[in-house]
Structures are given as C-alpha cells and as structure tokens.
C-alpha cells in the first residue's frame, strides 16, 4: 500500500482565460542560423494534442489544445503553482460554457485538453476554472522523493510499484541522459518545465528519443530536481512532456517534474504506454487497446 497524505490535500479553484497567440519578432534563427517564422505558443490548437507526436509539427513549442492564463500577476502565479496535471477544468463562459476538460501541463500558459467538439466552440477570452488539487502531495514512506504537479488521479495512474528499502519503480516511455537537459535550468523546479535539447538529431536517434509523444512519462538520469533543477550523478527525476519540439538551440520538448530523488531510489522501467493521454483516456484517440492492457 503506497501511503500518501491525499486525504489532507486542499481542493481550491484557480482560473484564467483562453489566451491569444502572439508573435514577438516574426523571425528567429534556428540552430543553423536560418531565420524562420513559426507558429508558437498559446491559442486554441485544434489538432496537436496530448498523446500526439512531440516532433515534426511545423511550429515551435506547440502547447497542445487550450492555453490559458490570468491577466493579474498574483492570480496568474496561483494558477501556475496550484494547477496540477490531471486536475479537472470547466468552461465558465462562452459558447462552450459547462464543458469539462483536463489539465495536461504548465508552460508559458496552463494547458488544458478538451474534446474536439468542445475545442471548436472555444473562443479567445473564454473563462476557464480549474479545481486545483495536488500541491502538498507526499509519499509518506518516501521522504527522499519529491512529488510535484500531480493530481491524485495521475499519481494513481503512474502505476508506481514499491520495491522495499525506500525504493520505487515507475514505468516510463523513455530515459533521457542528463546532458540533454537544457533551457529551464535557470528556473525553480516548481515552475513550468525544462526543455530537452534536440538540435543534435543523430544523438537523439541513437538514443531512441526521436519518437516521443506529448504526455510521455520520462526518466531523466543524473538530474536532481528535489529543490531546483541540477546535475547530480546517481540522482533521478521522473517528468512528463508538456509541449512539442523547438527549432531553437538548447530547446525541445518540455519536461515537467513529477518525482525526483537525489539518490538512485527510483527505478524506471520502459513501457511505451506510459503517457498521460493513455492513462486518462484523453486527446485525439480513445486509447482503448492500450488502456485495456493497463488494466
């Protein structure tokens, strides 16, 4: 029995509005110095959703489905820090009022997945309320392992297995070596994500990391994110891909922190079904086959 303090977690509402895509400079250099114009973050993305490929989109840092933020700085940070992956969201204004969605990540905006028919009814500026629960979640018998940004539902879905002697096993879609972790090292581990670095496509392919999906659960080797994000040999961090790839040097799919330990007490085991869309049955597919095999 994996003991947690879930019965003591506080469920609290946070909210924002559907945020428009904005273009800063129209041109940015890619890793080879070629000026590119690409779609970027925010907006309502109708086609790229959690469970879909993290690579190949004709865009940069695509945030799947709906991006929301709050206009006021304080409530905006409440949204960032309190919203957890797997939390329920509800449209509270506009044509889609009453429709229900699921938080899938935190990046420049909070990312919420809704069914396709709902996505078509959502307008920029529509209000979204999130029932935030998950901050403060702890694994009571594993004080060395930090827990972040997870709803109790996602925590349960991860299929964590207790191995004894303070160790756990977690299914992951892939393992990332520490040297591929890039942009986001300068930020606190409780805030947004750290990008994988994907300019070096040969290395990526050699490591089998060129077919990742948005929502994949991953292990990062030799990274201790228990406090902030940094390199420590033997440490291990479990994360989730929140946004798609980038053409900019030092960037790539974003990895949000879920579990971390400064010591080798988390054992990852490869399982390609380890993806948020499969676990929660959201995104562009119903994942019926994968979900049956999980059960």
Partner 1 sequence: MIETNEDRVITMSVMGVVISPSYPGIPAIPHQIDREGKPRLLPALGGIVYNVKVGDSVYGWAGDMIEPGVAIKAPDPAANEALNVFACVGNDAVVMSGNATGARGIVTGKSGRFAEHVIIHFATEILDQLAFGDKIVVHARGVGLAVNRFPGIYLKSLSPLLFDRLRLEENDGKLTVPVTAIVPPELMGAGAGLTSEGGAICIQSMDTAALARHGLDKLRLGDVVAITDYDSSYGHGYKKGSVSLGVVSATDSIRAGYGPGVTLLMTSPGGELDPLIVEGINIVNLLDVEARA
Q: Which is nearer to partner 1, 101 or 182 (CB)?
A: 182
Q: Using CB under 8 A, which of 2, 6, 21, 31 touches partner 1?
A: 31
Q: Which of 197, 212, 236, 258 binds partner 1 (CB under 8 A)?
A: 197
- For residue 111, which of 22, 21, 42 has the smallest C-alpha distance? 42
Q: Which parts of 115-174 interact with partner 1 (CB under 8 A)? A: none
- Residue 93 as a binder of partner 1 (CB under 8 A): the answer is no
Q: How far is the CB of 254 from partner 1 (least distance, A)?
A: 11
224 binds partner 1 (CB under 8 A): yes
Region from 12-20, 78-86, 129-137, 222-230 binding partner 1, contact rule CB under 8 A: 222-230
230 contacts partner 1 (rule: CB under 8 A): yes
Q: Does 80 bind partner 1 (CB under 8 A)?
A: no
CB neighbourhood size of 77 (10 A): 13
216 binds partner 1 (CB under 8 A): no
Among 158, 248, 258, 278, which residue interacts with partner 1 (rule: CB under 8 A)?
248
What is the spatial distance between Cα 98 and Cα 240, in angstroms, rounded to a whole number? 28
C-beta of 7 vs 186, nearer to partner 1: 186
- Using the rule CB under 8 A, is 7 a contact of partner 1? no
Our CB check for partner 1 shows the closer of 199 and 211 to be 199
Min separation Cβ 270 and partner 1, Å = 22
Nearer to partner 1 (CB atom), residue 181 or residue 244:
181
Q: How far is the CB of 137 from partner 1 (least distance, A)?
A: 17
Binding residues (CB under 8 A) for partner 1: these are 29-33, 177-186, 188-189, 195, 197, 199-200, 202-203, 222, 224-233, 248-251
């Amino acid at each position: 029995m994996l003991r947690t303090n879930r019965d003591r977690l506080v469920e609290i509402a946070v909210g924002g509005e559907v945020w428009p895509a904005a273009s800063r400079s129209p041109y940015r250099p890619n890793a080879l110095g070629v000026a590119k114009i690409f779609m970027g973050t925010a907006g309502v993305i109708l086609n790229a959703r959690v469970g879909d490929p993290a690579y190949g989109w004709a865009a940069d840092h695509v945030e799947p489905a709906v991006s929301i933020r709050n206009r006021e700085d304080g409530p905006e940070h409440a949204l960032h820090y309190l919203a957890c992956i797997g939390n329920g969201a509800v449209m509270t204004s506009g044509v889609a009022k009453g429709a229900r969605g699921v938080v899938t990540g935190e990046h420049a905006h909070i990312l919420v997945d809704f069914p396709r028919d709902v996505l078509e009814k959502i307008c920029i500026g529509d209000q979204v309320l999130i029932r935030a629960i998950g901050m403060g979640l702890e694994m009571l018998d594993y004080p060395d392992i930090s827990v972040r940004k997870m709803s109790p539902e996602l925590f349960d879905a991860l299929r964590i297995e207790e191995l004894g002697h303070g160790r756990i096993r977690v299914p992951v879609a892939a393992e990332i070596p520490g040297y591929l972790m890039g942009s986001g090292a300068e930020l606190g581990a409780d805030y947004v994500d750290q990008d994988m670095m994907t300019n070096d496509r040969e290395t990526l392919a050699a490591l089998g990391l060129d077919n990742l999906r948005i929502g994949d659960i991953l292990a990062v080797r030799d990274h201790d994110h228990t406090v902030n994000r940094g390199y420590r040999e033997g440490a291990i961090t479990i994360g989730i891909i929140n946004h798609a790839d980038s053409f900019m040097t030092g960037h790539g799919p974003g990895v949000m922190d879920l579990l971390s330990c400064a010591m080798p007490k988390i054992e990852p085991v490869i399982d390609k079904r380890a993806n948020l869309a499969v676990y929660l049955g959201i995104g562009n597919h119903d994942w019926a086959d994968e979900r049956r095999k999980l059960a």
